[in-house]
Amino acid sequence: MKIGYPCINQRIGCSSGRTFRLRSYSEKRHIETVAGNLDCLLSVLQFNVEHGLLFFRITSDLVPFASHPICSYPWHDVFADRFREIGAFIGEHRIRISMHPDQFVVLNAGDPGVVVNSIRELRYHADLLDLMHLDRSAKIQIHTGGVYGDKEQSMHRFAGRYDDLELPIRRRLVVENDDMRYTVQDCLQLHEDTGIPVLFDAFHHELNGSGEPAGETAALCSGTWRPDDGIPMIDYSSRQPLDRRGRHAETLDRGHFRKFLAETMPLDFDLMLEIKDKEKSALLAAEIAAGDRRLYQA
């Protein structure tokens, strides 16, 4: 099990997702921003290796506006060497990588323009991982999308669009249950229809499931990953006490986390901690998991 956190390291004082307003766009500004983001990404990955955190989600803002028409210079070529160096570091230290495009990627949208933009955005994510020469275990996780008043038809539309995707995208894409609309059961159905691996989000499942036990549900999702997809990924969080429904915890809830570990114990997976204080909780979780798993193996 590798443990990780998404996008931002709060300790080392740089951001790999710096951006700027579209109206401030210039090629010079863009190149400077991306160069800074890549430097920071490597620093964060170095920190992670030094601290035993070998799973990381790369921010979608690494290359701002990458799928926007305004970004028309060949950034792939400009930064090819840098991407390769970072990818080599990732490979050398066996770091697991994920990316999570934001809510604007809606593969099953009714509006063809939204679908075109979504595929452009997915192509950017796939290009980035390809430029780093990562194998297909580096994943891009998305949600199913909208329901539009007819879930069955909307799932069917997702399946058709997935089947039609170009291979560099399709080989990396995994689908994750969300907290409002598409449950794990829905995602498992999509796997049946298309073969897409299912990324289990334990927190979303608590909010948007029928009480199926986490361990069994995680095992079902694990069965959807092929060997060259890498070992399954799972997203974990708990609810921020007293806060609104879907709010992620500010810091790791030890009791909740140990219960989750116990429930899923026989399974191997890479665990993404979607907790607000980032590497702080990831470090704590790694410590707890190491202890509990040692206990389990004894």
Partner DNA sequence: CCCTGTCAAGTCACG
Partner DNA sequence: CGTGACTTGACAGGG
Interface contacts to DNA, rule CB under 7 A: 6-8, 15, 17-24, 59-61, 64-68, 100-104, 106, 109-111, 113-114, 117, 121, 145-148, 178-181, 204, 244, 246-248, 274-276
Query: Which of 103, 297 has the CB closer to DNA?
Result: 103
Q: What is the 3-state secondary structure (H, E, C) of 120-135?
A: HHHHHHHHHHHHCCCC
Cβ neighbours of 52 (radius 10 Å): 13
Least distance from DNA to the Cβ atom of residue 298, Å: 34
- Cα 226 to Cα 10, 198, 221, 254, 268: the distances in Å are 34, 11, 11, 32, 14
Lookup: tokens for 210: 């029928």
Query: Which of 135, 166 has the CB closer to DNA?
Result: 166
Query: Which of 101, 230 has the CB closer to DNA?
Result: 101
Query: Which of 115, 286 has the CB closer to DNA?
Result: 115
Q: Which residue has the tokens 């701002």?
A: 64
Query: Which of 135, 184 has the CB closer to DNA?
Result: 184
Query: Which of 60, 264 has the CB closer to DNA?
Result: 60
Least distance from DNA to the Cβ atom of residue 68, Å: 4
Least distance from DNA to the Cβ atom of residue 81, Å: 23
Least distance from DNA to the Cβ atom of residue 67, Å: 4
Query: Which of 66, 132 has the CB closer to DNA?
Result: 66
Least distance from DNA to the Cβ atom of residue 12, Å: 13
Least distance from DNA to the Cβ atom of residue 190, Å: 16
DSSP string, the chain: --EEEES--SSSS--TT----GGG--HHHHHHHHHHHHHHHHHHHHHHHHTT--EEEEPTTSSTTTTSTT--S-HHHHTHHHHHHHHHHHHHTT-EEEE---TT--TT-SSHHHHHHHHHHHHHHHHHHHHTT--TTSEEEE-----TT-HHHHHHHHHHHHHHS-HHHHTTEEEE--SSS--HHHHHHHHHHH---EEEEHHHHHHSSSS--HHHHHHHHHTT--GGG-SPEEEE--BPTTS-TTPBPSS--HHHHHHHHHHTTT---EEEE--TTTHHHHHHHHHHHHHHHHHHH-
Lookup: tokens for 28: 């010079």
Least distance from DNA to the Cβ atom of residue 295, Å: 29
Least distance from DNA to the Cβ atom of residue 226, Å: 25
Query: Which of 207, 292 has the CB closer to DNA?
Result: 207
